[in-house]
Each structure stands twice: as structure tokens, then as C-alpha cells.
């Protein structure tokens, strides 16, 4: 059973960088049929996809966040990371990492429990 | 850009059938996935490719997709089904996923 677990600071100051890591266990992070994602959810609101990274390191980002986001992959430690720059209060949310199955009509089959990140001074 | 529309809430009595819709222009030409999210928890995939169920999801959960509406149907609703439900498709032009706004299912 694949498991994902987010980790990182729960509080970030405005204008600073939000950094989170997702550790994958119970399955290979190098599976060719899957890729790895970050999704966030502000309190009381819906889901917003942030970006994805493939096992070859290729990335795609939500156009609305593209200028402030970087994803990276550490296959030797089965983890991938998110960096969101120049954060504001609008970036306060629960951040989920999730695995997607790549099929053309991709879906998210495993999710981490999520971690709350608050942007505040 | 493509948009998915879900009703904010649906209410149903226990034992009856709940139907949660997801509207989009010609959504029937896309493959729709559905997630259940209970308070304080991560979403769980309950339906993929319009109507397929992952292992472990009860047969009470089913899906359909045609025309401009995809539907998640929950038969014999139980109190434990109370949750937010999100539909999701793939935006082929933008090459990224799209989520509906979510529907809160209340079991009366």
C-alpha cells in the first residue's frame, strides 16, 4: 500500500519561501506509470492543483502559480519537494501531496494526509 | 477556460439515493473522476473513468457521464457517507487537472 507523508514548517512569514517535502513509502517513486503532485486547499474552499513532477524530473505547474513554484525530486530518498516563493496570506492552506496515474485522463489515486501551512508574521 | 459546476450541497435521508452532479461543456467527451473528502482528511478516490470503482469502495458508489453532466450516485446512503465530493477532469488544452467546486452531502 502506497503511503505519502508531507512534512515541513507549519508557519511561514509573508514574503518568505514555503518549503514542503513528501515522503513516499510502500511503492516506488520511480514508477513509470505515475507522477507526483502538490495540491492545496484553503480552509473551507476547494482543491487547487499546484504542480507535478515526473520521475525523469520534468515538471508542469498551475499557470496561476508558475512564477513562484519549483518542484524537485529525490529518488534516492523516495521524496519530492515543493518550494513556493514570496508567499502571502492567500497561500495559507492545507497542502497535500498526491500520486497521479498517468493515462491521458489522469487521476489521483493516493494522497498524503495533508499539512496546514499558515502564512503570518 | 473549461469549468466544472457542482451544486454546493445535496441532502438525503439515510437509506435513500443521493445524486451529485458535475456540469461542464460536453463533459461526456471527457473522463470524470470523483473524490470523497471527510472533515480534516485527505480526499479519497471513489470513482475513476466515469464509473470504475477502486478496490475497497462499496458498490453503493457508482458514476455516469453523458452530454453536459456527470453524476455520482450513492445508493442506500449511510451516515458515514456525509462528506464533500469533488469531480475532476483533465484539461487537455492546458494539460492540467481541473476540480469542481465540491458538493457537501448532508445525511439527514
pLDDT digits (tens, 9 = 90+) for A35-90: 999 999 999 999 999 999 999 999 999 999 999 999 999 999 999 999 999 999 99
Quickly list DSSP for A31-94. Answer: -TTEEEEEEEE-TTS--EEEEEE-TTS-EEE-TTTGGGEEEEEEGGGTEEEEEE-S--GGG-EE
* Strand pairing class (B83-91; B33-37): antiparallel
Report yes or no: A101 and A34 within 8 Å, Cβ to Cβ: yes
Q: Do A63 and B94 touch (CB under 8 A)?
A: yes
Q: What is the mean pLDDT, run by run of 10 residues, along chain B of 108 residues?
A: 94 97 96 97 97 96 98 97 97 90 97
State whether residue A46 sits within 8 Å of chain B by CB: yes
State whether residue B9 sits within 8 Å of chain A by CB: no
pLDDT, tens only, A12-42: 999 999 999 999 999 888 878 899 999 999 9
Residue A38 grid cell: 502538490
Q: Do A49 and B96 touch (CB under 8 A)?
A: yes
Give the distance, in angstroms, between the CA of residue A38 and the centroid of all CA atoms in the same chain.
Answer: 2
Among A114, A32, A102, A60, which Cα is nearest to B39's?
A114
Q: What is the pLDDT of residue B55?
A: 95
State whether residue A111 sits within 8 Å of chain B by CB: yes
The secondary element (H helix, E strand) that includes residue B56 is none
Q: Do A114 and B30 touch (CB under 8 A)?
A: no
Amino acid at each position: 500500500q502506497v503511503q505519502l507523508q508531507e512534512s515541513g514548517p507549519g508557519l511561514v512569514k509573508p514574503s518568505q519561501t514555503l518549503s514542503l517535502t513528501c515522503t513516499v513509502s510502500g511503492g516506488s517513486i520511480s514508477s513509470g506509470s505515475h507522477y507526483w503532485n502538490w495540491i492545496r486547499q484553503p480552509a473551507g474552499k476547494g482543491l487547487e492543483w499546484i504542480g507535478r513532477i515526473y520521475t525523469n524530473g520534468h515538471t508542469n505547474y498551475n499557470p496561476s502559480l508558475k512564477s513562484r513554484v519549483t518542484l524537485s525530486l529525490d529518488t534516492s530518498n523516495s521524496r519530492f519537494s515543493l518550494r513556493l516563493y514570496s508567499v502571502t496570506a492567500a497561500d495559507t492552506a492545507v497542502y497535500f501531496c498526491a500520486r497521479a496515474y498517468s493515462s491521458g485522463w489522469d487521476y489521483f489515486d493516493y494522497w498524503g494526509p495533508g499539512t496546514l501551512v499558515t502564512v503570518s508574521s | 477556460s473549461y469549468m466544472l459546476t457542482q451544486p454546493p450541497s445535496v441532502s438525503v435521508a439515510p437509506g435513500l439515493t443521493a445524486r451529485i452532479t458535475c456540469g461542464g461543456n460536453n463533459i461526456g467527451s471527457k473522463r470524470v473522476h470523483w473524490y470523497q473528502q471527510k472533515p480534516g482528511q485527505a480526499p479519497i478516490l471513489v470513482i475513476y473513468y466515469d464509473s470504475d470503482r477502486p478496490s475497497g469502495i462499496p458498490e453503493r458508489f457508482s458514476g455516469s457521464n453523458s452530454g453536459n453532466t456527470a453524476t455520482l450516485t450513492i445508493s442506500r446512503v449511510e451516515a458515514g457517507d456525509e462528506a464533500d465530493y469533488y469531480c475532476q477532469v483533465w484539461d487537455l488544452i492546458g494539460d492540467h487537472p481541473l476540480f469542481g467546486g465540491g458538493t457537501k452531502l448532508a445525511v439527514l
